[in-house]
Amino acid sequence: MSATDFDSTTSSAGQADTETRPVPFRGGGFKPIDIRFVGLGVFVVLIAFWEWGSRSGFISSLVLPAPSEAFEAFMDLARSGDLGRHLAASLRRLVIGFVCGTTLGLIVGMLIGLNSIARAGLAPLVSAIFPIPKIALLPLFIIWFGIGEGSKVATILFGSFFPTVIATYSGIDGVDRTLIRMGQSFGLGRMAIIRKIVFPATLPAILSGMRISASISIILLVAAEMIGAEYGIGAYVLLAGNLMSTDQLIAGVAMLSILGLIVNFLISRAEKYLLSWRS
Amino acid sequence: MQLRVQSLSHYYGPLEILSDINFTIGEGEIVCVIGPSGCGKSTLLRMLGGLEQPTSGQILEVGRPPEGSLNPLTYVFQDFALLPWRTVHGNISLVLEGHGLDKADIDARIADVLERTRLSDFVNAIPKQLSGGMKQRVAIARALAVDPAVLLMDEPLSALDSQTRELLMADLIGLWTRERFAACYITHNLNEAVRLGHHVVVLSRRPGKIREIVQIDIPLEDRDMSDPKMAKLQQDLWNMMREEALDADRELTT
Ligand SMILES: Nc1ncnc2c1ncn2[C@@H]1O[C@H](COP(=O)(O)OP(=O)(O)OP(=O)(O)O)[C@@H](O)[C@H]1O
Ligand SMILES: [Mg+2]
């Protein structure tokens, strides 16, 4: 090979070792991009298929009622006026339990994150109690807080408390220490550092913890409402199950899943709004 | 106000990091500190500003800080340390809040300091919108906003590319000629040291001892790298550093 081979590609075109081709692309991917309406499309297609299957007899109505039947059951519920009562009862429990659980969780998580004594004392306790399914404790909660609202709110409260604690203090552990040192170097007080540096820096972790604790709260809400509740989506689903009226059951379950979607949507909005500074 | 380091030594556990350091940062004077990696320069700077305590020896403030100084010893960090969720304005106001200044006063100070660092157009930008050089300019503006007596800078330009570094260097020299701040400037870059330093403290490899303090008498604004005197200075520093750097390079860092 002579040195001139480097700049003689045109003259030797046609030869196998000098053919030109673009460098194949092999990057990209691994980066979620927002594609709208695909999720919605999947839902619509699935439900349409289901409806078609039920009508054509491909899916027996004994096995699974058609979406239209479930919707009819939902409309019945709305017309009877019970829908509002069920929703109001469930939402009240959910909101009170979740707000109290998250608030307490934030406080305890902050304590553990910022104070070594609190960490030494409480972190093992949190780790010990977190994995216990709170549903298993429901009978205890009933004895302690009564069969009424108390035990139901308590279940949700405990369920959302622990994930929030863990998300908060691990978030604090992950705060960039150079920012804290910067605060100290400018003479900011401890409270100012916590309020203006540590807390905002922990917010991403807190919000993603909230996503989890919100879902846990909805699961626990239904479980708790299955015992001794007159109204509530859980009670409605339980009754439907006992009566084997699967159309009502599907209607109830769909309400839960929509509730979950709404909560998720709200948290996403909060993230977009509060965390727009993230790169 | 002067800052005096007196027979300072420091250990991390059994490991001696700094050994018997003595020097003074005079009023309006820039002291550059150079030395091989791991010799304790950052540690020394943390002690100068009271973020860490030396094992023995002390650091003394000599004289009163200037009237109205909110934070006499003020850092400029290598990685900027800007709060990503605050705007340029918010990042500067962060260090002005809590001093009992009213809002108009804070805004006036911020406007003034942004003017001095030519950042006025970026008041409402957040850090992710700024280039590295811009971020460091904001950090310098933030440091100036509290009217420091001594600026403590740990390799403030080393996270930047060389062109940006050159621009910021010129900015720093310009700023100093107007404001005559005192500073301790840590760097790996000998060129920065000879262009900015009134004194250059050369540390040996770990444990860091003072190997030499080189005084440079040429006024900052007249320093020109094509001047053979400057080139010679840099060469001398390099000869001093070379052997230390070679040895330090061969040692295991623990
Ligand atoms: N908190 C610490 N605990 C124990 N050892 C430390 C600590 N901080 C630094 N060291 C050690 O002290 C030595 C000096 O560190 P320092 O960061 O001050 O060096 P440096 O001169 O700034 O180095 P570089 O030029 O790489 O920035 C290093 O060997 C480092 O490993
Ligand atoms: Mg360092």
CB contact under 8 A, A192 and B84: no
CB contact under 8 A, B77 and A277: no
Q: How many CB pairs below 8 Å do chains A and B form together?
A: 52
Rounded (5°) CA angle B107-B68-B89: 25
What are the extents of the domains in chain A?
Answer: 81-278
pLDDT single digits (tens) A11-70: 544 556 788 999 998 988 888 787 888 988 999 999 999 999 999 988 888 888 999 999
- Residue A101: count of CB within 10 angstroms of its CB: 27
- Residue A110: count of CB within 10 angstroms of its CB: 21
pLDDT single digits (tens) A65-84: 999 999 999 999 999 999 99
Handedness of CA B60, B65, B70, B72 (dihedral sign): negative
pLDDT single digits (tens) B12-59: 999 999 999 999 999 999 999 999 888 899 999 999 999 999 999 999
Residue A7 has pLDDT above 70, yes or no: no
Beta-bridged to residue B30, according to DSSP, are B183
Write down the residue that tokens 């692309």 correspond to. A25
Nearest chain A CA: its distance from B74 CA (Å):
6
- Quick one: which atom of ligand 1 is closest to the CA of B203? 21
Residue A246 has pLDDT above 50, yes or no: yes
Percent of chain A with pLDDT over 70: 94
- Residue B96: count of CB within 10 angstroms of its CB: 21
Question: What does the pLDDT read at residue B121?
Answer: 95
Whether B49 and chain A come into contact, CB under 8 Å, resolves to: yes
Residue A212 has pLDDT above 50, yes or no: yes
CA B204 – ligand 1 centroid, Å:
14
Question: What does the pLDDT read at residue A175?
Answer: 96
Residue A147 has pLDDT above 60, yes or no: yes
pLDDT single digits (tens) B84-127: 999 999 999 999 998 989 999 999 999 999 998 989 999 999 99
Quickly state the pLDDT bin for A1 (edges 50, 70, 90).
very low
Which range (A28-32, A197-201, B177-181) has the least confidence?
Answer: A28-32
Residue B169 has pLDDT above 90, yes or no: yes
- Atom 23, ligand 1: residue with shortest CA distance: B38
What are the extents of the domains in chain B?
Answer: 2-65+150-253, 84-148
CB contact under 8 A, A178 and B98: no
- Using a CB-CB cut-off of 8 Å, the residues of chain B touching A197 are 83
Question: What does the pLDDT read at residue A16?
Answer: 60
Percent of chain B with pLDDT over 90: 83
> Mean pLDDT across chain A, nearest whole number?
90
Nearest chain A CA: its distance from B19 CA (Å):
24
Q: Which residue has the higher pLDDT, A30 or A276?
A: A276
- Residues on A contacting B at a C-beta cutoff of 8 Å: 178-179, 181-189, 192, 196-197, 200-201, 275, 277-279
Best to test chain B binding among A178, A185, A277 (most B CBs inside 10 Å): A185
Percent of chain A with pLDDT over 90: 75
Best to test chain B binding among A182, A206, A279 (most B CBs inside 10 Å): A182
- Using a CB-CB cut-off of 8 Å, the residues of chain A touching B76 are none
The architecture (CATH level 2) of A81-278 comes to Orthogonal Bundle (1.10)
- Using a CB-CB cut-off of 8 Å, the residues of chain B touching A196 are 83, 94, 97
CA A199 – ligand 1 centroid, Å:
29
Distance of alpha carbon A204 from alpha carbon A172, whole angstroms:
10
Indicate the helix (H) or strand (E) that contains A241.
helix A233-242
The shortest CB-CB distance from B128 to any of A178, A179, A277 is to A277
> Mean pLDDT across chain B, nearest whole number?
92
pLDDT single digits (tens) B69-81: 999 999 999 999 9
User: Is B2-65+150-253 in CATH node 3.40.50.300?
Assistant: yes
**Pocket lining: B253 vs ligand 1, CB cutoff 6 Å:** yes
CB contact under 8 A, A277 and B97: no
If you average pLDDT over residues A108-135, what whole number do you get?
94
Query: 3-state DSSP call for residue B65?
Result: coil
User: Helix, strand, coil: what percent of chain A each, to 5?
Assistant: 75, 0, 25
CB contact under 8 A, B127 and A179: no
Q: What is the DSSP letter of A230?
A: S
Report how far apart, in Å, the C-alpha atoms of A246 and of each of A67, A79, A81, A242, A265 are: 11, 19, 20, 10, 28
**Pocket lining: B89 vs ligand 1, CB cutoff 6 Å:** no
- Atom 16, ligand 1: residue with shortest CA distance: B40
Nearest chain B CA: its distance from A182 CA (Å):
6
CA B251 – ligand 1 centroid, Å:
14
Q: What is the ipTM of this complex?
A: 0.90
Report how far apart, in Å, the C-alpha atoms of B151 and of each of A149, B71, B109, B241 are: 61, 10, 18, 25
Residue A112 in contact with residue A166, Cβ under 8 Å? no
Which range (A1-15, A16-30, A223-237, A260-274) has the least confidence?
Answer: A1-15
CB contact under 8 A, B75 and A189: no
